[in-house]
C-alpha cells in the first residue's frame, strides 16, 4: 500500500505511544516495512542504519532465520497454552529455568509478562502481597529515581520519574517518591564518582528516614537510566544502592528492561558489580522484539512468603491470559542461545570500542557537551555553550531536528527532550557499520549546525 494512503488511515485511527497527538497528525507516520541485520527499509524503499535496535530491543538484529523458525515451529505445534490452573508448556518452563541460570544468584522464581510495564506492575503487586504476608502491612511506600523509567502501567508509571507520564494521569500516587538521579554531567557538586555515589546513598537514607523505615517497601532503579536520557552512573553506584537497601531493610528491585541481555556488556548489568537484587524486571532483549515478552524474577524468600500466606487453597490473584506465552518463550529460548552459544554477547563486547570511540570523538563537535556510554548504550548531550553547559532553547527542538536530518541521511536513533541523542546499536553490528554510523552522524550534526537558527 502507498505510504500516502497508510498515513491517511493512521491519522484517522491509530493512537501512537508516548506521542504528541496533534504533532503526529501534522507530521504523519514513518512507516517501516522490513529489516535485515542492523538495517531497516521504510515503505518508500529508503535504507536506514538502525542505531537504536528498534526501541532498544532488537539486540540480535532483524531477520534472523533461526528465531523465525523457532516461532513458526512453536505456532504450528501449539500456538497457545495457558499458565492458569497449573497448565504450562515446554518452552515456558525451559525459558524460566534458563533465565534463572543466567540471572544473579539471588533470583530463583520467574513470572512471565507481555513486556516491561507489566513486569514492573507485577513487582509492585507481589511486593505488596509479600509485606502483607510478613505481617508488615505498613511497608507500602516506594522510592525511585527522578528521570527513571519503569513503564506506563497505571501504578508503574508513578515510579517512572518523568513528568509527561504523570501529568493529567493523577500520578505519582501518594506512596511513590523520587530521589535525585546520579547524573554525572550535570551533578551540581561536580563529577567525582565517590561523591556522586555517596550523595545517592544519602538521598535514599534521607527519604527512608523521612517516610519511616517501617513504611518503605522497596527502591526501584535502572542500572543505567534509559528513557531519562541515557544517564550512566559511576561504576560502583549500583552496588552501593543495593547495600544501602539491605541496611535500610527495604527491597532492592532492579529494572534491567534495557540493560539486560548484553546491552551493557555482560548478560545483566548487575553482573558487572556482583549485585544480587531481590527482584529484577526484564523484557526487550529477552525476545529481541520478535515477539512480546517480559519477566519478573524474584528471590526464593519473596516467593515462599507469598506461597505461605496464600496457604494450601487460595489462588494468588495475579495473572494474564498471555503470561508465559509459548511462542514468545520459544523465541526467547532461541534468542538466549544466540547471545551465548551464538556468540552475540561476545561480538557486542568486541565491537564496543568502536562505539565508545565514535561517541568520544564527537565531543570535539561544537554542538556536543557530553558523550557517555556503557557497552552498547550511549548518548550525546547537546549544549549551546560548553563551559556553562547551557541547553539550547527547547523551541528549537534540536534533537528532533537532528534525528529528522539523520533519517534523510539513512540513520535512525532516538531524540530525547531538548538536548539528548540516544544510541543502542544491535549486538550484531560490524566495525564497518560503526564506521558508517559515525560518518552519517557527524555529517548530520555538521548539516544541522549550518542551519541559521542553530548557528
Ligand atoms: N522499564 C524500563 C527500564 C524500560 O526501558 C521500559 C521500556 N522502555 C519499561 C520498563 C517498559 O517496558 P514496556 O515498554 O515493554 O512495557
Across all residues in the chain, what is the average pLDDT?
Answer: 97
CA of 144 to the centre of ligand 1 (A): 15
Per residue in 363-420, pLDDT tens? Answer: 999 999 999 999 999 999 999 999 999 999 999 999 999 999 999 999 999 999 999 9
Model confidence at 280, in pLDDT bands (50, 70, 90)?
very high
pLDDT above 90: residue 190: no
Q: What angle do CA 136, 142, 146 make, to 5 degrees?
A: 165
pLDDT above 80: residue 281: yes
Cβ burial 82-101 (10 Å sphere, 16+ → b, else e): bbeeeebbebbeebbebbee
| Pocket probe mutation, ligand 1, options 116, 164, 230, 289, max atoms within 8 Å of Cβ | 116
CA of 15 to the centre of ligand 1 (A): 18
In the block, which residue shows the cell 501518594?
Answer: 174
What is the per-residue pLDDT for 455?
80
What is the per-residue pLDDT for 192?
93
Q: Which atom of ligand 1 is nearest to the CA of 227?
A: 5
- Domain 67-339: CATH architecture, name and number where available: 3-Layer(aba) Sandwich (3.40)
Per residue in 436-452, pLDDT tens? Answer: 999 999 999 999 999 99
The C-alpha cell of 252 is what? 532492592
CA of 207 to the centre of ligand 1 (A): 25
Model confidence at 130, in pLDDT bands (50, 70, 90)?
very high
In the block, which residue shows the cell 544491535?
Answer: 426
The C-alpha cell of 198 is what? 555517596
Whose CA is closest to 439, among 39, 41, 46, 49?
49
Per residue in 63-107, pLDDT tens? Answer: 999 999 999 999 999 999 999 999 999 999 999 999 999 999 999
> Residues 56-61: what's their mean pLDDT?
98
CA of 252 to the centre of ligand 1 (A): 18
What is the per-residue pLDDT for 189?
72
Q: Torsion angle of alpha carbons 169, 172, 173, 175, nearest 10°?
A: 170
CA of 55 to the centre of ligand 1 (A): 9
Say what the ipTM of the complex is.
0.99
Q: Which atom of ligand 1 is nearest to the CA of 226?
A: 5
CATH code, residues 31-63+343-449: 3.90.1150.10
Model confidence at 191, in pLDDT bands (50, 70, 90)?
confident
What is the per-residue pLDDT for 295?
99
Q: How far apart, in whole angstroms, are the C-alpha atoms of residue 374 and residue 395?
A: 30
> Is residue 255 lining ligand 1, measured as CB closer than 6 Å?
yes
Give the start-to-end residue ranges of the domains of the chain. 31-63+343-449, 67-339
Percentage of residues in the chain having pLDDT higher than 70: 100
> Is residue 263 lining ligand 1, measured as CB closer than 6 Å?
no
What is the per-residue pLDDT for 293?
98
> Residues 169-175: what's their mean pLDDT?
98
Model confidence at 432, in pLDDT bands (50, 70, 90)?
very high
> Residues 207-212: what's their mean pLDDT?
98
Q: Which residues contact 13 (CB under 8 A, 6 or more apart)?
A: none
Q: How far apart, in whole angstroms, are the C-alpha atoms of residue 213 and residue 217?
A: 8
Amino acid at each position: 500500500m502507498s505510504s500516502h494512503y497508510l498515513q491517511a488511515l493512521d491519522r484517522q485511527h491509530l493512537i501512537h505511544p508516548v506521542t504528541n497527538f496533534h504533532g503526529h497528525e501534522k507530521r504523519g507516520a514513518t512507516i517501516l516495512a522490513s529489516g535485515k541485520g542492523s538495517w531497516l527499509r521504510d515503505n518508500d524503499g529508503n535504507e536506514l542504519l538502525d542505531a537504536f535496535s528498534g526501541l532498544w530491543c532488537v539486540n540480535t538484529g532483524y531477520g534472523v532465520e533461526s528465531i523465525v523458525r523457532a516461532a513458526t515451529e512453536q505456532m504450528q505445534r501449539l500456538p497457545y497454552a495457558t499458565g492458569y490452573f497449573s497448565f504450562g508448556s515446554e518452552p515456558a518452563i525451559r525459558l524460566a529455568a534458563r533465565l534463572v541460570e543466567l540471572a544473579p544468584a539471588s533470583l530463583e522464581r520467574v513470572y512471565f509478562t507481555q513486556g516491561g510495564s507489566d513486569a514492573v506492575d507485577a513487582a509492585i503487586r507481589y511486593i505488596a502481597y509479600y509485606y502483607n504476608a510478613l505481617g508488615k502491612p505498613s511497608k507500602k511506600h516506594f522510592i525511585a529515581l527522578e528521570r527513571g523509567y519503569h513503564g506506563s502501567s497505571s501504578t508503574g508509571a508513578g515510579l517512572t520519574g518523568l513528568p509527561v507520564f504523570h501529568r493529567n494521569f493523577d500520578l505519582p500516587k501518594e506512596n511513590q517518591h523520587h530521589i535525585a538521579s546520579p547524573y554525572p554531567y550535570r551533578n551540581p557538586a561536580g563529577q567525582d564518582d565517590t561523591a556522586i555515589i555517596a550523595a545517592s546513598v544519602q538521598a535514599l537514607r534521607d527519604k527512608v528516614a523521612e517516610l519511616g523505615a517501617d513504611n518503605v517497601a522497596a527502591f526501584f532503579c535502572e542500572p543505567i537510566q534509559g528513557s531519562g536520557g541515557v544517564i550512566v552512573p559511576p561504576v560502583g553506584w549500583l552496588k552501593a544502592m543495593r547495600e544501602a537497601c539491605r541496611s535500610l531493610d527495604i527491597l532492592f528491585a532492579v529494572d534491567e528492561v534495557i540493560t539486560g541481555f548484553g546491552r551493557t556488556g555482560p548478560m545483566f548489568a548487575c553482573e558487572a558489580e556482583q549485585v544480587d537484587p531481590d527482584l529484577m524486571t526484564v523484557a526487550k532483549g529477552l525476545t529481541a522484539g520478535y515477539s512480546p515478552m517480559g519477566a519478573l524474577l524474584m528471590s526464593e524468600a519473596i516467593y515462599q512468603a507469598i506461597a505461605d500466606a496464600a496457604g494450601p487453597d487460595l489462588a494468588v490473584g495475579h495473572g494474564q491470559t498471555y503470561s508465559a506465552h509459548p511462542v514468545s518463550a520459544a523465541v526467547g529460548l532461541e534468542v538466549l542461545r544466540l547471545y551465548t552459544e551464538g556468540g552475540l554477547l561476545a561480538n557486542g563486547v568486541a565491537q564496543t570500542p568502536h562505539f565508545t570511540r565514535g561517541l568520544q570523538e564527537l565531543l570535539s563537535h561544537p554542538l556536543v557537551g557530553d558523550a557517555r556510554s556503557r557497552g552498547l548504550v550511549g548518548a550525546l548531550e547537546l549544549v549551546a555553550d560548553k563551559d556553562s553547559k547551557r541547553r539550547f532553547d527547547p523551541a528549537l527542538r534540536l534533537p528532533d531536528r537532528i534525528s529528522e536530518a539523520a533519517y534523510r541521511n539513512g540513520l535512525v536513533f532516538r531524540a530525547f527532550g531538548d538536548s539528548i541523542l540516544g544510541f543502542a546499536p544491535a549486538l550484531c553490528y560490524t566495525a564497518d557499520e560503526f564506521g558508517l554510523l559515525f560518518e552519517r552522524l557527524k555529517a548530520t550534526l555538521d548539516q544541522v549546525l549550518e542551519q541559521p537558527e542553530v548557528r
